[in-house]
């Protein structure tokens, strides 16, 4: 399929336009001479590493016009990464002056970087606003369309670019093409028509533009997940958690499943146990292992389903729900949802149970936000919920999770956690050496005895903080070289 749209070409041209290239599919997220964006013919001349010019007008074939010292020379496009077809067309249609970075190979001039250059104010977007780099990074993060891919001393990034104006949103939709999910692409066209229309109220236009900005700034990915190293996963778990062998085993089983299927499991994790046993820490560790951004939903603070689903645009102060805002904050559709205190979800204000809103999110069938008015793909969402009591959670919700019971720690486990994890962590934060603050064996027994009837390890962490702070006080004020805490000192200090 040709790069350019010839529907508006002059009828006076002397020869037909010719498509000179083929497309190739690539899912690589970085570019190099071996993994180029496009390849140009170099049989007539070997092109410079950095070359400037424009993609030519439609009647001059699908080519690039190099602005050389001896004049303008044209080179046919031989191959294009299928993800970049629409972007190349847009650059040519708008005569955007660019600088290519490439390498001459036996197969042609392999272009692996494209940058916009300021040229007389003739471009739609200034060279400084970062749109082109933003667009290239988005396309590299996308997968190849199903139907039909380095100047080291000047690195640029498009992460700071945000699509807010109608112009930038329009250009993004044009360049993204079929790399966007079909339903989102069609939804965006409808909302763009509303945002441009003068037959609707300014409020409707504002809402449409805001919804477009939110949706287009999210990187919509597919549900393919790269393999994860189980050894590295185990190392992270051992680093974050002491003991809990059954929990670690269940998480490693999930990793092995992902490696075999390259998709997320059908069920998320529900971690049930007493307060302070590290349920949230387990969730953060899993997000770190999966190499995904994470967001939290605190169900204890949500008392109305509308907080999750958003409000309709018929209201002047309408806004998206917390779930859609989480996608927006993460910047991509693949993320870990950490749902805290699932058992404490309120029944709401007569409008239903907020927890039940999560059912469609947990089924990975798509979530509909009332403000966006579009089904949001959720195939890349991995939910991890925490709860203290299972009997407060509805049966439909429970059936969406693989339940893992988190037992409380034994006295011996608490001793190890305090002496090997909690206290050393506090000492590092306070810049204290191990010999400056020591807890004798009888002092350690006193700490454990003090908090024997409490669940979890938060009290142990607070005790370590208190002991270390007291040691620092004695070293700085009383000018002692080290402090050893015995049982009597611990009891006196902790009360």
pLDDT for res 380 = 87
Q: Which of 38-52, 112-126, 309-323, 387-401 has the lowest mean pLDDT?
A: 112-126
Beta bridge pairs of residue 95: none
> Three-state DSSP class for 185?
helix
- Each domain of the chain, given as residue ranges in start order, spans 22-158, 230-405, 411-494
pLDDT for res 207 = 93
- Pairing type for strands 374-376 and 367-369 reads antiparallel
pLDDT for res 97 = 87
pLDDT digits (tens, 9 = 90+) for 240-260: 887 788 888 889 999 999 999
Confidence of residue 348 (pLDDT cuts 50, 70, 90): low
Residue 13, pLDDT > 80, answer: no
Residue 16, pLDDT > 70, answer: no
Residue 107, pLDDT > 80, answer: yes
d(CA 422, CA 262): 37
Q: 58-62, 282-286, 359-363: which has the highest mean pLDDT?
A: 282-286
Residue 353, pLDDT > 80, answer: no
- Which long-range CB contacts under 8 A does 457-462 form with residues at least 24 apart? 457/276, 457/277, 457/278, 457/409, 457/414, 457/417, 457/418, 457/422, 458/275, 458/276, 459/276, 460/414, 460/417, 460/418, 460/422, 461/422, 461/426
Residue 319, pLDDT > 80, answer: yes
pLDDT for res 280 = 84
Confidence of residue 38 (pLDDT cuts 50, 70, 90): very high
Residue 423, pLDDT > 70, answer: yes
> Helices marked H in 349-418 — which ranges?
358-362, 395-398, 411-416
Note whether 21 and 149 are within 8 A (CB). Answer: no
Q: Which residue has the higher pLDDT, 41 or 316?
A: 41
Note whether 305 and 353 are within 8 A (CB). Answer: yes
d(CA 183, CA 180): 8
pLDDT for res 119 = 53
Percentage of the chain exceeding pLDDT 70: 88
In degrees rounded to 5, what are phi and psi of residue 483?
-130, 130
Class of domain 230-405: alpha beta
Average pLDDT over residues 382-394: 88
Which residue, 240, 383, 195, is CA-closest to 299? 383
In degrees rounded to 5, what are phi and psi of residue 114?
-130, 130
Residue 268, pLDDT > 70, answer: yes
296 CA to centre of own chain:
14
d(CA 299, CA 320): 17
Average pLDDT over residues 290-304: 85
pLDDT for res 101 = 93
Residue 451, pLDDT > 60, answer: yes
pLDDT digits (tens, 9 = 90+) for 121-162: 444 454 445 788 888 888 888 887 765 434 444 444 444 557
Residue whose structure tokens are 């001459």 = 104
Average pLDDT over residues 403-409: 84
Q: What is the pTM of this model?
A: 0.67
What six digits make up the tokens of 194?
Answer: 């509303």
Average pLDDT over residues 106-135: 72
Q: Which CATH number fits domain 411-494: 1.10.8.60, 3.50.50.60, 1.10.10.10, 2.60.120.380?
A: 1.10.8.60
């Amino acid at each position: 399929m040709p790069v350019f749209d010839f529907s508006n070409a002059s009828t006076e041209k002397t020869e037909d336009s010719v498509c000179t290239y083929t497309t190739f599919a690539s899912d690589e997220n970085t570019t190099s001479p071996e993994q180029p964006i496009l390849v140009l013919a170099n049989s007539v001349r070997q092109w410079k590493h950095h070359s400037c010019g424009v993609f030519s007008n439609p009647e001059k074939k699908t080519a690039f016009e190099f602005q050389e010292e001896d004049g303008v020379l044209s080179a046919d496009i031989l191959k294009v990464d299928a993800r970049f077809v629409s972007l190349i067309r847009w650059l040519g249609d708008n005569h955007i002056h660019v600088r290519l970075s490439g390498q001459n190979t036996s197969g042609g001039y392999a272009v692996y970087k494209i940058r916009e250059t300021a040229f007389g104010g003739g471009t739609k977007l200034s060279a400084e606003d970062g749109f082109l780099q933003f667009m290239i990074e988005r396309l590299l993060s996308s997968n190849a369309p199903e139907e039909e891919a380095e100047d080291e001393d000047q690195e640029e990034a498009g992460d700071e670019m945000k699509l807010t104006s109608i112009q930038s949103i329009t250009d993004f939709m044009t360049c993204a093409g079929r790399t966007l999910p079909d339903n989102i692409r069609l939804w965006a066209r409808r909302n763009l028509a509303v945002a441009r229309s003068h037959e609707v109220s300014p409020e409707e236009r504002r809402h449409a533009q805001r919804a477009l900005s939110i949706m287009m700034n999210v990187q919509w990915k597919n549900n393919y997940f790269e393999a994860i190293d189980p050894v590295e996963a185990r190392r992270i778990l051992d680093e974050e958690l002491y003991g809990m062998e059954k929990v670690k085993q269940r998480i490693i089983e999930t990793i092995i499943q992902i490696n075999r299927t390259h998709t997320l499991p059908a069920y998320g994790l529900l971690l049930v146990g007493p307060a302070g046993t590290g349920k949230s820490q387990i969730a953060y560790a899993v997000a770190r292992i999966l190499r995904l951004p994470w967001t939290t939903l605190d169900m204890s603070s949500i008392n109305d389903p509308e907080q999750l689903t958003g409000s309709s645009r018929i209201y002047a102060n309408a806004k998206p729900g917390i779930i859609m805002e989480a996608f927006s904050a993460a910047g991509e559709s693949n993320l870990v949802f950490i749902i805290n205190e699932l058992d404490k979800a309120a029944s709401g204000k007569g409008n239903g149970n907020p927890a039940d809103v999560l059912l469609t999110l947990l089924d990975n069938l798509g979530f509909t936000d009332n403000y966006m008015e579009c089904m949001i793909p959720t195939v890349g969402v991995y939910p991890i919920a925490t709860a203290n009591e299972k009997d407060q959670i509805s049966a439909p919700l429970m059936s969406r999770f693989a339940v893992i019971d988190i037992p409380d720690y034994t006295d011996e486990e608490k001793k190890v956690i305090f002496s090997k994890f909690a206290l050393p962590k506090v000492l590092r934060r306070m810049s204290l050496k191990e010999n400056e603050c020591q807890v004798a064996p009888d002092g350690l027994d006193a700490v454990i005895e003090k908090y024997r009837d409490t669940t979890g390890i938060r009290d142990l962490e607070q005790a370590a903080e208190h002991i270390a702070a007291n040691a620092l006080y004695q070293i700085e004020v009383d000018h002692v070289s080290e402090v050893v805490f015995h049982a009597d000192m611990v009891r006196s200090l902790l009360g």
